[in-house]
Amino acid sequence: MDKTLANIEKSLIEDYQVSHIGQAIECAAPSIGKIAKELSPDKATGIIEKMLMDLCELLGQDMTKQQIQTTANIIYQDYKSLNMADMKLIISGYLKTEHYGAINANKVLTFIDKYWDERLEAAAELSYQKHSEFIKPDREKPFNFSNNEKP
């Protein structure tokens, strides 16, 4: 494993301590797509594979190497804008929920899809809040119709 990949994996453990989606959205953690662009797609999927292997280990369950690779490739293809803080929340969230039967690609991808939907809602809410804060001062000032200028 090269030094850059080792540093990224280390940062996944030590950095990006987030407890909710809003923090993950605001976090400066690199996205899956950014990692792929700056390092390589193989390194990005390798990081995802490592996270899936860690998840399996924490659950005391196994997925085959092929299942992990396929799941990592799907995550890479479909969720490039997720950042490493998001991935940590996904892993910790999966660990906190009750799952019946063995871990598999479908369960992991369904969980990520649910997280993605929640993230989209949280991002929309954050965007609305920021927009409201931005335009609030303008709304408080009356428009001067006589010379088309704001006071």
Q: At what angle do helices 65-78 and 41-59 cross, to 10 degrees?
A: 120
- Judged on CB neighbours under 10 Å (0-12, 13-18, 19+), 132 is exposed
Task: Please write the tens of the pLDDT for every residue from 22-38.
Answer: 999 998 889 999 999 99
pLDDT of residue 28: 86
Report yes or no: 29 and 83 within 8 Å, Cβ to Cβ.
yes
Task: Please write the tens of the pLDDT for every residue from 48-102.
Answer: 999 999 999 999 999 999 999 999 999 999 999 999 999 999 999 999 988 888 8
pLDDT of residue 104: 94
Task: Please write the tens of the pLDDT for every residue from 96-145.
Answer: 988 888 899 999 999 999 999 999 999 999 888 777 776 765 555 555 55
Closest CA to 111 of 138, 80, 89, 135: 89
pLDDT of residue 114: 97
Residue 16 pLDDT grade (very low, low, confident, very high; cuts 50, 70, 90): confident
Whether residue 42 is predicted with pLDDT greater than 50 in this model: the reply is yes
Q: The whole model's pTM is what? A: 0.77
